[in-house]
Structure 1
Amino acid sequence: MADSRHLPDSNNTMGVDLINNELALICPDPVIGINRDGIITLFNPAAEQLLGYSSQEMVGKFHIAQLYPSPESAREIKRLMYQDDQGEKGQLISHKTNLLSKNGVSIPIQLSACVVVEQGEEIGSVGFFRDMTERLALERSLKHMSITDSLTGLFNQRHFHSVLGQEIKRCKRHQHPLTLVCLDMDHFKSVNDKLGHVEGDHALRFIGEAICSILRLSDFGFRYGGDEFMVLLPETASQSAASFTNRLIDYFDNNMPSTLIDLARESEAVALSIGIAQYKDDEPANVFVKRADLAMYQAKKQPGNSTVLAE
C-alpha cells in the first residue's frame, strides 16, 4: 500500500469510517487501511488471523512499512501505486509480495490497493491482501508431480530432456565434461512374469533408491521409461563416472531385496547393465543419448553388472 505525497496534514482517521465498515470487517481476506502518513487505521479480523496481531495493537500505532520484509519492499509498492504503466494512478492490482507476521514468518501475499480520496484530497489508502501460501504450495506440488516419476521418486523422461539441454549448454559454456549413464535391470521381464507386477514395481523402486543413495548434489537421476534409467553427471569425465557405476553396483548387490535374490538363485541372474557416454563437442542431444543407450545394450551381451564406455 502507499501513503500519499505532498498533501496537507490530516488526522489519523480515514475520512470514511473504514474501521466501522461492515464489509471490511466481514471480508474473508485481510484488509488493512492506512492514513496518509502510513499509520494503520484499519486491521480487520482476517488480517489479525493472518499476521497474529490484534487490531488494538495495530490501529494508530503501527506503520505499514513495519509489516514488509524491508523498507525497499514498502517503497516499491508506493512507487507502483503511482506509476502510469500500472493503469490508473493510485491503485495497484494483484501485486505479489510478502508480509511479516508477528512471529517473524514471511507470508507470501497478493495485494490489491487503492487510495482513499475525500473532498478531492487523498487521505490514505486501503489494501486487500490474499494469502498465497496454500496456492504456492499447490503450484510447487503440481510442478514436482509434473517432473517426477511417481513410482521411483526420480525425475521423469520429460524432465530429462529439459535438464539435458540445460546441462549441454552449461558444459559448452564452461568447457566442463558431461557424462551420461544409461542402465537397466537384466531379465526384468522375468521379475514381472515370475514374481508379479507388484514385485516388479518394488524392483524398480529399489533401483531408484540405489541411484538416489549415491548421487551427488550436482547429479540428476531419471527413470527414462520401463526399467531404463538415466543419470547425468555434470563436470564428470567418463573415466570418473566408472567410480559412480561401481558404487551403484555395490549398493545393488549388497541391498538387493530377498525376492530378487531368490529369483537369481532359482533361474536368471538379476543384475544391471550400464552404458557410459561423455558428451562430444557440438554433438546433438539425441546422438549423445543414443551412444549411452547403445553402450548399455553392449553391456547386456556381457556377464551381469557390466559397464561399457561408449565410443
Structure 2
Amino acid sequence: MTREDIEFPGEGGITLRGWFYKAEGATGPAPAVVVTHGMSGVKEMHLDDYAQVFAEAGLNVVVYDHRNFGASDGSPRQENDPVLQHRDIRNAITYATTRPEVDASRIGVWGTSFAGGHALVVAAIDKRVKAVVSQVPFISGSRQLAQAVRPDFIHHVREQFDGDRANRFAGGEPAMLDAVTPDPTLPAMMPSLEAYEWFTKTSADRAPSWKNQLTARSLEMASEYEPGSYISRIAPTPLLMIVAAEDADAPYQLALEAYEAAREPKQIIVTPGGHFANYSGPGFDQAAAAARDHFVKHLSA
C-alpha cells in the first residue's frame, strides 16, 4: 500500500493536508475518489480504512482534513463551515486531476455524516463527479434543529447565535461548545451518548488530533444547511446512499425521504445499527464493500 502525505490549496488559498493513496495494480492513469469526514471528524477516524479498501480495488484516493481541523490550516479553529467545506471538496477534485496517476475523466466522491451531505451537493453541481457515495448523510439543518431543540427553546438558541455574532463582529473570541457530551441534557453539537462514546474511544485509540470542541457558529451554519435539496439534481451521476437503520444523529427518516426525491440511477443500502456502526466491524465491511463496488462499476474505463 503506497500512501503519500499531501497538501493542496482549498477555497481562498487555505492549505489542506491529507493523504494520497495510489491505486494498486494500476499500469496507467486510474480513477480517483475524494474522501471526507463528518462534523468535527479527522482523517485518522477510519478514513484510512476506507481508503485502503478503495486503493486495493484499483482506485486512487485523496483523503484530507477539513479546513480548521486536524492537520489542515484555517481559522477559527474548530469551525465547521459547510459551504467552504463543499467548495474545498471541489478543490480536492481539481488537485486529484493534476496528478499523473489519475484519469481526470473518472472521479468519485465519498462523504460520511455531515460530509455525506456535502457529497450530495458536490455531485449535483460539479459534473466532473462520475459516481457518488453518501453515507449516513446529514440532510436538513432546519429539520434536524427542530427535532433536536424544543420549540419553546428555539428562540433562546437564536438569541445566543445573535449574541455570538455581535461579539465576533466587535473582535471577540468565538463562543465554543462541546462536540459531544455524555449528558444529553447538556448543550453539544451531537448530544447522543452513542456519539460521545464513539468519538472519545476513537480519538483515544487512533486520532489524538481530534478535539471535543466546535464554535457555536458551527451549529448556526449547520442549521442553515440543506444538502437534501440538491438531491434531485445529481442524476445522471450514479448515486449510492448508505443509511443506518437506527441512526439518531443524522436521522435515517430524513435520508429515506431524500432518497425518494433522487432520480435514477440510484441505489440505497440500509445497514444495521446506529450512526457510527459503519466505521468498524461488520458494519464497516458491508459499507466499504458496497462503496467500493459502486465506484468500480461506475468509474471503470
Does TM-score exceed 0.5, indicating one fold?
no
TM-score between both structures, scaled by the size of structure 1: 0.19
TM-score between both structures, scaled by the size of structure 2: 0.20
Structure ranking higher on relative contact order (CA contacts 8 Å, 6+ apart): 2
